[in-house]
Amino acid sequence: MAAPRFALSGTLGRLNLSQGVRRSQRFASTSAGSPSPSSSPIRTGLYATAAVVSTGLLLAYYFDSRSAIHRYVVPPLIRRFLDPEGGHKLAIGVLRTGLAPRDTQKDDEILKCTLWDNITVSNPIGLAAGFDKHGDGIDGLFNFGFSWVEIGSVTPKPQPGNPTPRVFGLIDGGVINRYGFPSEGHAWMLNRLRERIPSFFQPADDSRASLRPGSVLAINLGKNKSSPPDSINDFVTGVRTFAPYADVLVVNVSSPNTPGLRGMQSRTLLEELLGGVSKARDEAVTAGVAGRKPKLVLKIAPDLSEDEIADIAAAIRTSGVDGVIVSNTTVRRPPGLKDPNQIEVGGLSGIPLKPYSLATLRSLRPLLPASIPIFGCGGISSGADALEYAKAGATAVQLYTSFGFDGAGTPRRIKDELVNELKKEGTTWAEVTRKAIAEKSLKEEPPVEPVEAGKGTVEMLVAEAKELGRLLDTFGERFKSSQTGSGEVNADAAVAAAVPLSP
């Protein structure tokens, strides 16, 4: 009985083996005759093409600053995972790599803006100091579409600034900061500026430090915390150091986070300061150190009284300073703020600052001639905000907090909104500012031409004699008419006749 069982088992084993071989042969035959989807050249090519196109579209979307992710995705994520200063440093790091998005659109002609007679920019939207403190991301910021990029504040010697945390976001659309001029110093920034200049670059007489048409580069000069409060030396040194590398040099005496700095806005100290920096700028140009003559601009606070504003205006008018930025941050806290961070010490910027900056602008504009432009800064987050500053007498505007909140596309968005506002009114930025400044500025007296010694003396004497004769004739006629028929003199008429008439 065992033997048959063994034979049956062997037969079944051979049968199973034979079936397995046939199945293997069929699988091999099928594989050889019909290539699998994964090895098909056509399908592989389609997958590769789709991947390349998708990557290209993603990169195009990322590098276009208008993309929604740069307002509604990236900034909220940064605020979610990083504190404000950490997010700030990340943004500067991306700019430093050259991999930041950029404004891909050409500025509309109706945005063209003349800052000074010899300096015109493609749009009136600039970036205020404080974002790029060390000059690490200049070209990346220009690529966002700003026409004015202001770096700094920079102090002569490196200093760390105030202890952290020192930046606080508010749900009210503002930021409180007490940075205290953290700076790598003049030498560091000087190296950054020199790195931008190509070795083959030959500056022309009318070339700009921005190294691009339709834009200007400004450097904001600060003061070391360790320097004497009333000393102007840090600012004079800054002018001498950076005059060859800037289109505009900004004298910052308005930060609330450096002890004693705002005291330099008093008239006596301010006149000394502005005279010193003007002289240093002119000496740099005369000595050939600076190929161009950078403009000097003063940045003031929004917390000044009317008398203080008048004193500042008087100092500016006699100093040779070319313009004013209104304004820096405020130490005031407007009623209605809801964020608990409002109790933090420091300067407040953003939407809550706007009323204070506009009020200061409106007080200062009538005290300065039209030849001295004012640049508005404070709470500008839309095209309508920018236009409001223009109608108040500002030549151009600067952003800061709204740029930090809304991301890389903010300059382009505000420019587009501003174009729509101007088109609705059928006008241009240049026309709005020209009209407002002409109406609101101090009217300048026509210059009196000096008369050379000995020249015109005879003509002047003859003219004076003729005028005296005319007055005597007038007096005689009135005296005769004042006599009554009885030969008496009317006393009132006689007195009137004795009063000289205006020629």
Neighbour count for residue 409 (Cβ, 10 Å): 24
Q: How confident is the model at residue 359 (pLDDT cuts 50, 70, 90)?
A: very high
Across 114-118, 135-139, 393-397, 471-475, least confident range: 471-475
Across 12-16, 76-80, 223-227, least confident range: 12-16
The pLDDT assigned to 197 comes to 87
394 has pLDDT over 60: yes
Neighbour count for residue 225 (Cβ, 10 Å): 19
The pLDDT assigned to 86 comes to 96
The pLDDT assigned to 292 comes to 84
77 has pLDDT over 50: yes
Q: Is the distance from CB of 111 to CB of 419 less than 8 angstroms? A: yes
The pLDDT assigned to 284 comes to 92
Q: How confident is the model at residue 366 (pLDDT cuts 50, 70, 90)?
A: very high
State the average pLDDT over residues 432-439.
98
State the average pLDDT over residues 149-171.
97
Q: What is the pLDDT of residues 272-321, one digit of tens each?
A: 999 999 999 999 988 877 678 999 999 999 999 999 999 999 999 999 89
Collapsed DSSP state (helix, strand, coil) of residue 105: coil
The pLDDT assigned to 459 comes to 65
Q: Tell me how far apart the alpha carbons of residues 73 and 406 are, in angstroms, rounded to a whole number.
A: 10
Q: Two tokens at 325?
A: 């930025």
State the average pLDDT over residues 11-30.
46
Is-catalytic flag, 402?
no
Collapsed DSSP state (helix, strand, coil) of residue 104: coil
496 has pLDDT over 70: no
Which position has the higher pLDDT, 454 or 150? 150
| CB-count burial class (<10 Å; 0-12, 13-18, 19+) for 424 | exposed
Cα 491–497–500 angle (5° rounding)? 140
List, in order of start, the domains of the chain with CATH numbers.
Answer: 107-195+207-440 (3.20.20.70)
If we measure between CA atoms, which residue out of 351, 48, 297 comes closest to residue 152? 297
Across 164-168, 183-187, 206-210, 322-326, least confident range: 206-210
- pLDDT, mean over the chain: 85
pTM of this structure: 0.79
Tell me the residue length of the chain.
503
Catalytic pick among 210, 227, 255, 441:
255
The pLDDT assigned to 43 comes to 79
The pLDDT assigned to 33 comes to 47
80 has pLDDT over 60: yes
The pLDDT assigned to 27 comes to 41
- Please state, for a pLDDT cut of 90, what percent of the chain lies above it: 70
Neighbour count for residue 249 (Cβ, 10 Å): 26
Q: What is the pLDDT of residues 440-488, one digit of tens each?
A: 999 977 655 555 555 555 566 666 667 667 666 655 665 555 554 444 4
